[in-house]
């Protein structure tokens, strides 16, 4: 049996429109995250230069974390730009990096949830994470379905949104 493929996005929107909305939401989110990142760098630079009592190890570790997060943000922005280009120009290959990265993120989220359940138990924070994972999975399925539609792979079973 093939992978489930949605026929439409939320509220009766086409998969194309749903994918465009998801792509733009990603751009907005990453832009906000990048602005917050720049603010954190400014604050960190100000605090570390003003506070001579901070150990050098703290400065080096903090600088390394800032560099890694910066690289991840730039990488994510590039993937989302490819994703938007793929949606608008109907190029499924450009959407593939976003699908792979999001798929990996979903698998990691499930693993984190399992660790959380076994170590902490069920509480309100866990339920919030489950709802968030369900929404992210649905958004992934919308984009994956559009990707399959563009590739002409409509042979899988179809599900309504």
Using alpha carbons, select from 127, 140, 146 the residue that is nearest to residue 88: 146
Q: What is the mean pLDDT of residues 88-108?
A: 95
Burial group, residue 143, by CB count within 10 angstroms (0-12, 13-18, 19+): buried
Token pair, residue 146, equals: 């559009």
Burial group, residue 130, by CB count within 10 angstroms (0-12, 13-18, 19+): middle
Q: Are 140 and 17 in contact (CB under 8 A)?
A: no
Mean pLDDT is lowest, of 4-18, 64-78, 105-119, for 4-18
Q: What is the mean pLDDT of residues 105-117?
A: 91
Q: What is the mean pLDDT of residues 50-69?
A: 75
Q: Which helix (H) or strand (E) holds 6?
A: strand 5-6
Q: Are 126 and 120 in contact (CB under 8 A)?
A: yes
Beta strands in 88-157 (DSSP E): none
User: Tell me, what's the pLDDT at 121?
Assistant: 75
Using alpha carbons, select from 111, 90, 100 the residue that is nearest to residue 140: 100
Asked whether residue 45 carries a pLDDT value surpassing 60, the answer given is yes
Q: Which residues contact 91 (CB under 8 A, 6 or more apart)?
A: 85, 150
Residue 3 backbone phi and psi in degrees, to 5:
-65, 150
Q: What is the mean pLDDT of residues 96-109?
A: 96
User: Tell me, what's the pLDDT at 157?
Assistant: 47
User: Tell me, what's the pLDDT at 125?
Assistant: 80
User: Tell me, what's the pLDDT at 154?
Assistant: 46
pTM: 0.79
Q: What is the mean pLDDT of residues 44-52?
A: 71
Give the largest CA-CA distance in the chain. 64
Asked whether residue 4 carries a pLDDT value surpassing 70, the answer given is no
């Amino acid at each position: 049996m093939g992978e489930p493929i949605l026929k439409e996005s939320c509220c009766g929107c086409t998969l194309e429109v749903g994918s465009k909305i998801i792509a733009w939401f990603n751009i907005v989110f990453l832009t906000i995250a990048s602005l917050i990142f720049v603010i954190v760098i400014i604050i960190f630079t100000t605090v570390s230069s003003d506070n001579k009592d901070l150990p050098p190890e703290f400065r080096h570790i903090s600088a390394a974390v800032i560099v890694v997060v910066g690289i991840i943000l730039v990488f994510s922005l590039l993937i989302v730009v490819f994703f938007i280009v793929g949606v608008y120009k109907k190029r499924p290959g450009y959407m593939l990096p976003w699908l792979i990265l999001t798929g990996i993120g979903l698998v990691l989220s499930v693993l984190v949830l399992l660790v959380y359940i076994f170590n902490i138990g069920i509480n309100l924070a866990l339920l919030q994470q489950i709802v968030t994972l369900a929404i992210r999975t649905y958004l992934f399925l919308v984009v994956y379905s559009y990707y399959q539609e563009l590739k002409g792979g409509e042979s899988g079973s179809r599900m309504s949104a």
